[in-house]
Structure 1
Amino acid sequence: MSESAASYKQLKEEFVSGLSGGPVGEIVAVTAVLPIAALVWCLLQKRHAFFKPYTALGNVVDYLLNVGAALLAITLYANSAVLLMVLLLVPALFVLGVPPSTGARRKKPKLPPAAKSYNSNDSKDDTGSSSSSRDFDVLSTKPFLTFFRGSMMVLTCLSILAVDFRIFPRRFAKVETWGTSLMDVGVGAFVYSAGLVAARPVLKERAAHAGGRRAMAATLPRRLAQACRHSLPLLVLGVVRLLSVKGLDYAEHVTEYGVHWNFFFTLALLPPFVAIFQSALKIIPSYAALALILGVTYQVVLESTDLKAYILTAPRVDLFSRNREGICSFVGYLAIFLAGQDTGMYVLPRKINPRSGSSNATQRTTLLMTMAIWCSIWSALYFLTTDYKYGAGLSVSRRLANLPYILAVAALGSLQLFTYCLIETLCFPEFYSAADPKAEKEAYNVATSRVLRAYNRNGLAIFLLANVLTGLVNMTVPTLDASPLASMAILVAYSAVLTGVAVTLDAFDMNIKLS
């Protein structure tokens, strides 16, 4: 490596080192831009059926709202997120005030027929199976979950490249040791979101047993075998990333995860450990309780032993000490995953109270109340652990993935999820009145952004592509010297490529499963 190249690499490493983050309120404001943009999308669809059919113009508007707004929030409008929200809400109010045109009424998607009660005398189709509500999957694919996971993936992909440009505020980049930043919370939100969908197989297994259907007992060896199959591709990706970074002498921030560790290794280890911890549910009432016990125990060990000092200051003399940040912080990420899985246990089911005969509206109100309560619980616990006057006065550390970090991620994740659920409830209550799976799928397509649906559908593949493109940009462009105009041009092109690939995969009904 030439002297100039080595010097530039050192500059890039210093550019992302020694940071202390920013106020939590600002992070909440920036991330609030995402559901506001989703609200505008929903109003356009609800009021004017703007995205049905999905035209070229609709595609552009979809991209601008759900990707462009997020990009503006972390760059040009980073210091004025509230102004950006106002600029988004003004056209939303205009959309509400303008009556649908005659053409819009004609193309407005037909609402699904209301579900009716079925009994054993229901008519049967050509295959002999009853066309009753039993044809529904145990778990429905809900629009607000797609919005949440899709927008989280968009913000994650945008941030991993934007952080290399000066137009991205340093307070949004990952902190060195203590503090809270947008990217720190984003990493945790990625794990929280993964935990949320990990509740699906558990719920399906429980439904099979409750319904009296024969199902293979989910023993610990069987769960571990399944988990290892999911982990293997992620482990391979982690090794590929490690070899690529070392082989290309790519700039890296060692104190983030360690010398050899990376985020793919963390993701790969989660399924096996979750499979092991699932056995503890026989004596612990919920995943949330398990997450709290794990987080509190980890924090006690940090405070009462030399572990915290070891993680932060120990010399890197062997394989473990060289990767101590990634290995030790895994405990915190596991707790975040379990917190997400607990959320999935009440968010994913078709009814939050299956034994209740209450109406869809009542079930929906119960779900919103449950989500609001849990959001309040996580937020209150975060306040009690971090406040210096009324609480423990602990500092957030993504590097340690300590208890305050766990609670911050769970609080913000549940808040975002609740907001999307509320928007969906106000704009598309008809989704929950579909009489059959076909009508439900049509209602789902009407109520979800195609861009966010595409990001959610092949999320890990798009995340991998984002990492590859980020590496290519950094190896070909001196990002630290790029002007604001050049920076935005590169980021817009990058986001357009990611969105184009995601939407194309979705258009061809392709699912790329990496785990």
Structure 2
Amino acid sequence: MVNATSYKQLKEDFVSNLSGGSVSEIAQVCAVAPVVSLLWSVLQARQSFFKPYTALAFVVDFLLNVGALLLSVTLYSSAPLLLNILLLTASFFVYFALPPNLAARRKKPKLPPAAQAKQKDGSSGAGSLGVLSTKPFLTNYRGNMMVVTCICILAVDFRLFPRRFAKVETWGTSLMDMGVGSFVFSAGIVASRPVLKERADGRVTPLATRLLRSIRHSLPLLVLGFVRLLSVKGLDYAEHVTEYGVHWNFFFTLGFLPPFVALFQSALRVIPSYAALSILLGVLYQVVLESTDLKAFILAGPRTDLLSMNREGIFSFLGYLAIFLAGQDTGMLVLPRRLTPRTATSTAGSQRTTLLLTQTVWSLVWVALYFLCTDYTYGAGLTVSRRLANLPYVLWVVASNTVLVSAFCLVDTIFFPAFYNAQDARAEKEAHDTATSRVLRAYNRNGLAVFLLANLLTGFVNMTVPTLDVGRVATMGILVGYMATVTAVAVALDAYNISIKL
């Protein structure tokens, strides 16, 4: 029987010196999310399966949007393409073999007489539409990203979770490396909201005001960072020092992003877009890595002071900042209600198609940049490093996420055009709820709070269960119970209309 010290060392060794897997395999695993969204959308659009939202609907919702993603990183980790084919086959069967539920689809909530009269005269009693909208495909994208993140942070401690999916030591790609960057990219999308509102109102917020607001937003995250630091050191919890450093953790990275973004926003007067700013920052950081001793210092320098002890977290912050800015650029595209000015020939369908095409083009641009950065024959031949958060890592994360957003957007465009045709806020909300999974809406609504709960439960499981000694069946039982708990809390908060802002 190993003692506590040696078991802690075993756990640290279990997540150390890993080299990751192939980009194509990671893409296949990531593709499960939009394919599940396709199956969910077919069930909803053709059968109205999730309306009304019964107990059976919740179970199926959980099995699709949580269970399928859990399978993709555990039992189907060696065959993610097979899982995608099975899900696609189910989608085709529901669409072509089952007759549509026309009765359920025709049912529409009756409006009171006053509201009907207002609709006839062209006015709306349900609230006017603003310049920004929360599109269904964004809710599905962000919700899926949170679900996969919550799964992986616990699953990585079990032997059933492939080591090639865990974070690499220095060079290479893995699913969890993608997950960290995706979390930052997704936060960047949301951070574009206040900027868009300012532009719509014609306001220019002074730099000092922006900094104060960003610092207030950062304080809870920084507090969480210190709480995690103290708990890890105090409980002698297994930690991977080369991930972020001795004291740094992911909450510190998230917490320092808003103030730096507020500073960088002033640069938009000179630089045309957040995408250009992101690329410029990533390129400059890569040039410094290649032309100075910084890369050697980060990878092999002695840990003698506070800077050197936390060098991975401090310097990789520049790469995460570039990812965050790229996320903001995507937010500037997908959050506005209209991409083009309203004209006599402008329709909801044309706006929807323009958004999908524009997002697809940007996805191809980011993919091309990643290819040129990493290809040994036609490009620079650079290697991805999450530890450095170098330029190839930035471009890989941004390219992958923009492709995923485009895939969700495509499903949304095909099956739920009603959202884009809504004439008032109430109709739009109803269309949004019809087009989005209740489970994913719940994860998206209280994302950071759910992430914190998942971290606490992960710590509890690791403190009470010898995860390295658990078999396949028991591992799946623990992971299903853990995700069921996290999902139940998220859905309960949503059901009681509770939003926890951290």
Q: Distance in 1 between matches of 2:437 and 2:106?
A: 14
**Offset at 1:110?**
4.9
Partner of 2:370: 382
Partner of 1:118: none
Alignment of 1:298-447 (within 5 A): 298-357=285-344, 358-447=346-435
**Offset at 1:105?**
3.0
Alignment of 1:146-165 (within 5 A): 146-165=139-158
Relative to structure 1, the CA distance from residue 503 to residue 321 in structure 2 (aligned partners, 3 Å threshold; closer, same or farther) is same
Alignment of 1:72-111 (within 5 A): 72-100=71-99, 104-108=101-105, 110=107
Relative to structure 1, the CA distance from residue 393 to residue 222 in structure 2 (aligned partners, 3 Å threshold; closer, same or farther) is same
Matched, 1:5 2:4: yes
**Offset at 1:204?**
0.7
Letter in 1 for 2:377: K
For 1:186-223, what per-residue CA distance to the aligned partner results, in whole angstroms no more than 9, with x for missing partners? Answer: 100000000011111111111111xxxxxx64000000
Partner of 2:436: 448
Letter in 1 for 2:6: S
TM-score by length of 1: 0.93
**Offset at 1:131?**
3.4
Partner of 2:19: 20
Relative to structure 1, the CA distance from residue 354 to residue 147 in structure 2 (aligned partners, 3 Å threshold; closer, same or farther) is same
Letter in 2 for 1:201: P
Q: Distance in 2 between matches of 1:303 and 1:53?
A: 57
Q: Distance in 2 between matches of 1:354 and 1:474?
A: 54
- The counterpart of 2:227, out of the listed 216, 235, 240, is 240
Deviates more, 1:385-394 or 1:252-261: 385-394
Partner of 1:503: 491
**Contact kept in structure 2, 1:295 and 1:403, CA below 8 Å:** yes
Partner of 1:285: 272
Letter in 1 for 2:103: R
Q: Distance in 1 between matches of 2:452 and 2:26?
A: 25
Partner of 2:113: none
Letter in 2 for 1:300: V
Q: Distance in 2 between matches of 1:476 and 1:400?
A: 33
TM-score by length of 2: 0.96
Partner of 1:181: 174
**Offset at 1:88?**
1.3
Alignment of 1:120-131 (within 5 A): 131=124
| SS of aligned partner of 1:349 | coil
Q: Distance in 1 between matches of 2:96 and 2:26?
A: 31
Deviates more, 1:358-367 or 1:412-421: 358-367
Letter in 2 for 1:394: L
**Offset at 1:356?**
4.7
Letter in 1 for 2:90: P
Q: How many residues align?
A: 494
Q: Which 4+ residue blocks in structure 1 deviate beyond 4 angstroms?
A: 109-113, 121-125
- The counterpart of 2:237, out of the listed 250, 264, 271, is 250
Letter in 1 for 2:488: G
Specify every segment of 5 or more residues in structure 1 that has no aligned partner in the other structure, as ranges: 114-120, 210-215
Letter in 2 for 1:191: V
Q: Distance in 2 between matches of 1:60 and 1:37?
A: 15
**Contact kept in structure 1, 2:129 and 2:423, CA below 8 Å:** no
**Contact kept in structure 1, 2:127 and 2:426, CA below 8 Å:** no
**Offset at 1:100?**
3.9
Q: Distance in 2 between matches of 1:96 and 1:192?
A: 33
**Offset at 1:328?**
0.3
- The counterpart of 1:457, out of the listed 441, 445, 451, is 445
Relative to structure 1, the CA distance from residue 5 to residue 423 in structure 2 (aligned partners, 3 Å threshold; closer, same or farther) is same
Letter in 2 for 1:426: I
**Offset at 1:494?**
0.4
- Aligned alpha-carbon RMSD (Å): 1.9
Q: Distance in 2 between matches of 1:513 and 1:56?
A: 28
Q: Percent identity?
A: 66
| SS of aligned partner of 1:108 | helix
**Contact kept in structure 1, 2:131 and 2:338, CA below 8 Å:** no
Relative to structure 1, the CA distance from residue 327 to residue 438 in structure 2 (aligned partners, 3 Å threshold; closer, same or farther) is same
Q: Distance in 2 between matches of 1:366 and 1:319?
A: 50
**Offset at 1:112?**
9.8
Q: Distance in 2 between matches of 1:192 and 1:142?
A: 17
- The counterpart of 1:472, out of the listed 457, 460, 484, is 460
Matched, 1:171 2:164: yes
Q: Distance in 1 between matches of 2:487 and 2:127?
A: 36
**Contact kept in structure 2, 1:398 and 1:405, CA below 8 Å:** yes
Relative to structure 1, the CA distance from residue 111 to residue 29 in structure 2 (aligned partners, 3 Å threshold; closer, same or farther) is farther
Specify every segment of 5 or more residues in structure 2 that has no aligned partner in the other structure, as ranges: 111-117
| SS of aligned partner of 1:354 | coil
| SS of aligned partner of 2:3 | helix
**Contact kept in structure 2, 1:112 and 1:439, CA below 8 Å:** no
**Contact kept in structure 2, 1:112 and 1:435, CA below 8 Å:** no
